[in-house]
Amino acid sequence: MEAAHRRVAADLADQIAAGLWAPGDQLPSRAALARHYGVHEQTVRLAMILLRSRGLIEGERRSRLYVAHPPVMRALIAPDRDWPYQAERIASGAWKAGEQLADRLGVPVGATLNHEVLECLDPGGRSALIVCTWWRGRRRPHASHVAEVEVMHLDETQAHALGLTVDSPAYRLVRTRLDDASRPVETADLILPMDRWTIRL
C-alpha cells in the first residue's frame, strides 16, 4: 500500500502538471491540506518535503509554499566571474586537506585550509548553483585560473540545497585560481544542476 504522504504528493504533483496550480500560486496551508486529504499535518509536511525535493514547490518550510517556476537555463561561459546576484553562506570553517585538495592547492596532505560553501540564488531567490571553496591562509588576489568539468550526481546535502532529488545529474566544475607565478591560491567546486545549466568554456 502506498504511503499516505506519497499519495498526497502524487496528487498535488498531478494537479501542478495539469495546470490547476500555476507557477507562483500559493498552496493552501498544511492544516487545510490535511483536512482536504483526511490525513495528519505531519503527513502533509512529508508530502511537501517530497515535492520540494523534486523542485515542484518552493518556499521556507515554516511558511507558506508556492508552486515553483520552471528553472531558467543558463550558460556558464566565464567560470571565474563572481556571481552577480545574491549568495548565501551555508557553511564555513577549517578543513583538513585530503590528497585531492592538497594536489589542487600544492599543499601537504593534512594542511589546514579555510573552507566556505555558498548557495548562489537567481534573481527570483531560487537556488542556481553551489560553490565550495578552499584556500590556505588569507585570501589572495589571483591572475588567472584553470577549470575542468565532470559529470556527477547530487548527494543528499547538495540535492536539498538545490531543491532537487538525490542522484540528480549535475556538472562539477573544478576551478583553481592562480597567482602571477601560476601558483594555486584557491580552488573551488562549482555544482551546477544539468536542468539549469549548460557549460561553454
The model's pTM: 0.70
Rounded to whole angstroms, the Cα distance separating 141 from 161 reads: 29
CB atoms within 10 A of CB 19: 8
Query: What is residue 1's predicted lDDT score, i.e. its pLDDT?
Result: 46
Q: Is the pLDDT of residue 62 over 80?
A: no
> Max alpha carbon distance in the chain (Å)?
67
Task: Return the percentage of the chain with pLDDT > 90, whole number.
Answer: 58
23 or 186, which is more confident: 186
CATH fold label, 4-67: Arc Repressor Mutant, subunit A (1.10.10)
CB 108: neighbour CB atoms within 10 A?
8
Q: What is the pLDDT of residue 111?
A: 97
Q: What pLDDT, on the 0 to 100 scale, is given for residue 183? A: 96
Starting from the edge strand earliest in sequence, which strands make up the sheet with 127-135, in order?
Answer: 87-96, 112-121, 127-135, 184-193, 169-178, 144-153
Q: What is the mean pLDDT of residues 30-45?
A: 94
pLDDT in tens, 95-108: 999 999 999 999 99
Q: Is the pLDDT of residue 200 over 90?
A: no
Does 176 have pLDDT greater than 50? yes
Tell the CATH topology of 74-199.
Chorismate lyase (3.40.1410)
Q: Is the pLDDT of residue 146 over 60?
A: yes
Rounded to whole angstroms, how far apart are CA atoms 60 and 78? 31
CB-CB neighbours of 23 under 10 Å: 13
**63 band by pLDDT with thresholds 50, 70 and 90:** low
Report which DSSP code applies to 30. Answer: H
Tell me what pLDDT residue 14 has.
87
Q: What is the mean pLDDT of the chain?
A: 89
Q: What mean pLDDT comes out for the span 53-65? A: 73
Question: Looking at residue 196, what is its pLDDT?
Answer: 87
Task: Give yes or no for residue 130 having a pLDDT over 50.
Answer: yes
Amino acid at 31: A
Q: Are 197 and 162 in contact, with CB atoms under 8 Å apart?
A: no
CA distance 31 to 36: 9
State the cell numbers at 62. Answer: 515554516
pLDDT computed for residue 61 by the predictor: 56
How far is 150 from 171, CA to CA, in rounded Å? 6
Q: What percentage of the chain reaches a pLDDT higher than 70?
A: 96
Q: Where are the domains of the chain?
A: 4-67, 74-199
